[in-house]
Amino acid sequence: MRKLLAFTVTLALVATVAAYLVWTQERPVAHYLSDLRITLAVNEGQPADRGNLLGIQPQLYPADYQSLERLHLKLAAYLQNARDQGLINDKTIVVLPEHIGTWLMLTGEKNEVYQALHVKDAMNWLSLSNPVQFLRAWISATGTSRSDDAYLRMKAPTMARDYQVLFGGLAKEFGVTVVAGSIALPNPTVRQGQLQIGHGALYNASVVFAADGLPIGDPQRQLYPIYDERGFIEPGDENIVSVVDTPAGRLGVLVGSDSWYPDNYRKLNEQGAQLIAVPAFVLGRDTWERPWRGFKSVSTPPEISLKPEELSEGEAWRRLTLISQQPISQASAGMSVFLRGQFWDLGTAGQSFLSHAGHISADGDAQGARLLNIWL
């Protein structure tokens, strides 16, 4: 009797494991209708032959990332809308928001991931449906937040490939330069025209793609990760702030709140930056109106007199970025573009704005996808 019971239990366990392994391989695609509309919120200057900075503030949700084709459809629709309005030419620089590439970790996952109500539940489904990859990534994680590190690390090879296919492909399809927001990857580099991952820490980095679909220069790593990401995102080298040549001029990229630091503008000035793109992301539905929490580094730059909680997050972004720096940036134009949408119970905030000819023009309505344009 005992042998029969043991055999039955063993058989049940084997069947359960087999069923689980089969389940992990299933990736059914649910029907999904995405809103492809986008509004031109700000349009500064007059068309000329010097090109333009075109910011795309998308409205994105987890299900937009279920397949690369689905995400391409949405972003290409935004760009086609801009083209129809005469906002795209061979000197256009398209600026996308921070972490638009990081969420590629969701591509090709189970419906349960996209349908979850809370981010914790979604990440649990992500690890359950990729058990071997998650365990391997968790073991090799370097951050203090090992699970957050592992979620990104286990998908890093496909994320890097999809990032270049998607954003390099859009650059080539529309004949523009694309500042492809940012993506969190382990030690990202560009070799022989391809975005590559390495070993070690994760970095939040931005890549610029030329109209031929290939990266320009090296990934610009974020120097000062936000509080919520310090457990798994490593700061980049503070001495490396690079500038790349584009058909519209020399372009510098500062990721997120790196745009608050005067020393970064000094480095860009020294390299002759004429334009500055700031891919940005603010977590929390009401954060834009809440008190500003201060700088992301240990110390506040000596040139800055602002103190935490004396103004709102939104006011701080506009005060600190580009024109309010001392010394003032020598760039002629710049743009900060924020990621908007709803990722489970994680809301997003931020109203994109641009700087041109010494003043700021902002999108006063954060609802829906938005286009912002500066003619140079």
Mean per-residue pLDDT of the chain: 88
If one compares 293 and 180, the residue with the highest pLDDT of the two is 180
Instruction: Compute the distance between CA of residue 177 and CA of residue 90 in angstroms, rounded to an integer.
Output: 8
CATH class of 31-107+155-375: alpha beta
Instruction: Compute the distance between CA of residue 335 and CA of residue 45 in angstroms, rounded to an integer.
Output: 14
The per-residue pLDDT for 12 is 44
On whether the CB atoms of residues 86 and 47 are closer than 8 A, the answer is yes
Instruction: Compute the distance between CA of residue 221 and CA of residue 252 in angstroms, rounded to an integer.
Output: 12
The continuous run of DSSP H or E covering 262 comes out as helix 262-270
Give me 94's structure tokens. 């398209």
Instruction: Compute the distance between CA of residue 268 and CA of residue 241 in angstroms, rounded to an integer.
Output: 7
Domain boundaries, the chain: 31-107+155-375
- Confidence check: pLDDT of 139 > 80: yes
Rounded (10°) CA dihedral 163, 169, 174, 175: 100
Helical packing angle, 156-163 and 146-153, nearest 10°? 50
Instruction: Compute the distance between CA of residue 268 and CA of residue 272 in angstroms, rounded to an integer.
Output: 6
On whether the CB atoms of residues 366 and 37 are closer than 8 A, the answer is no
Q: What residue type is 31 in one-letter code?
A: H
* Average confidence (pLDDT) over 104-133: 93
What are the tens digits of pLDDT across the range 287-316? Answer: 999 999 888 766 778 888 888 888 999 999
- Confidence check: pLDDT of 22 > 50: no
pTM: 0.91
The per-residue pLDDT for 16 is 46
The per-residue pLDDT for 267 is 94
- Confidence check: pLDDT of 186 > 60: yes
Q: Phi-psi region for residue 51, left (φ > 0), alpha (ψ -120 to 50) or beta?
A: left
The per-residue pLDDT for 230 is 85
Using DSSP's 3-state secondary structure scheme, residue 16 falls into helix
What are the tens digits of pLDDT across the range 318-375? Answer: 888 875 555 578 898 999 999 999 999 988 998 999 988 777 888 776 678 999 999 9
- Confidence check: pLDDT of 6 > 60: no
Instruction: Give the rounded percent of residues in the chain with a pLDDT score beyond 90.
Output: 69
Which pLDDT band, with edges at 50, 70 and 90, does 2 fall under?
low
